[in-house]
Amino acid sequence: MGIQKFVFFSIHNCEKHPEVPLMEIKWCTEKYLAESGLKHTIIRLCGFMQGLIGQYAVPVLEGKAVWGTDAPTRIAYMDTQDIARLTMMALRRKDVERKSLTFAGPRAWTTQEVISLCERLAGQDAKVTIVPFGVLKFTRVLTRLFEWTNNAADRLAFSEVLSSDVIFSAPMGETYSLLGVDGKETTTLEKYLQEYYTQILKKLKDLKAQSKQGDFYL
């Protein structure tokens, strides 16, 4: 096919969780690339900031329930724009060929810390529903008993890992030096969510003003 370089996005510490189909596939693909002879770079990711919008930011703002767990899992979320920027830097450098890099955000956050940040920026309290870790584990075992619920079991296995006592993060100093990037340019979660709430609250304010103006003219 004439592939000059293969860039594969994987998951941080995927080799430690073979019980999760998605992570097992990622790890098998990593091993395949290492044995293939292809010029490649593996980029392991911890979590995306964009995923927090639908999961926490919007429900908190709309007063809807958000789901959390009682586990102290920490995830170093990263803006997809930063991931794309660092990936382009990696593509240009030959010294990262046949290497595995982990991209992690500036800080690892627990679910409760993310919810608290959203509450502060939205200016209102969240309706939090806590799902005990034991309930997730029992539900996954139960759904494994039926073929028609295997897909749900696979998703619950991934959720179980994210809800266990693990940290999805990695030091970025060496990676930044290798790619010639200033780590201070990486977006923090506080800044990302602040920009989101500033924009969305402004739009809501403008819509409210337009609605009042329309009522006046009517």
Does residue 196 contact residue 81 with C-beta atoms inside 8 Å? no
Mean pLDDT of all residues in 61-70: 82
Mean pLDDT of all residues in 147-174: 63
Flag whether pLDDT at 146 surpasses 70: no
Q: Would you state the pLDDT for residue 106?
A: 96
DSSP per-residue codes, 48-99:
BTTHHIIIIIHHHHHT-EEEEESS--EE--B-HHHHHHHHHHHHH-GGGTTE
Q: Would you state the pLDDT for residue 166?
A: 80
Flag whether pLDDT at 88 surpasses 50: yes
Flag whether pLDDT at 133 surpasses 60: no
**Rounded to 5, what percent of the chain is helix, strand, coil?**
55, 15, 25
Q: Would you state the pLDDT for residue 204?
A: 75
pTM score > 0.85 for this model?
Answer: no
Q: Would you state the pLDDT for residue 131?
A: 63
- Reference 55, options 213, 185, 193, 200; nearest CA is 193
94-123 pLDDT, tens per residue? 899 999 999 999 999 988 899 999 999 999
Flag whether pLDDT at 161 surpasses 80: no
Q: Would you state the pLDDT for residue 208?
A: 61
Mean pLDDT of all residues in 74-87: 96
Q: Would you state the pLDDT for residue 142?
A: 41
Does residue 97 contact residue 34 with C-beta atoms inside 8 Å? no
Q: Would you state the pLDDT for residue 210?
A: 57
The mean pLDDT value of the chain amounts to: 82
Please work out, in degrees rounded to the nearest 5, the angle formed at the alpha carbon of residue 200 by the alpha carbons of 194 and 204: 140
Confidence band, pLDDT 50/70/90 cuts, at residue 140: very low
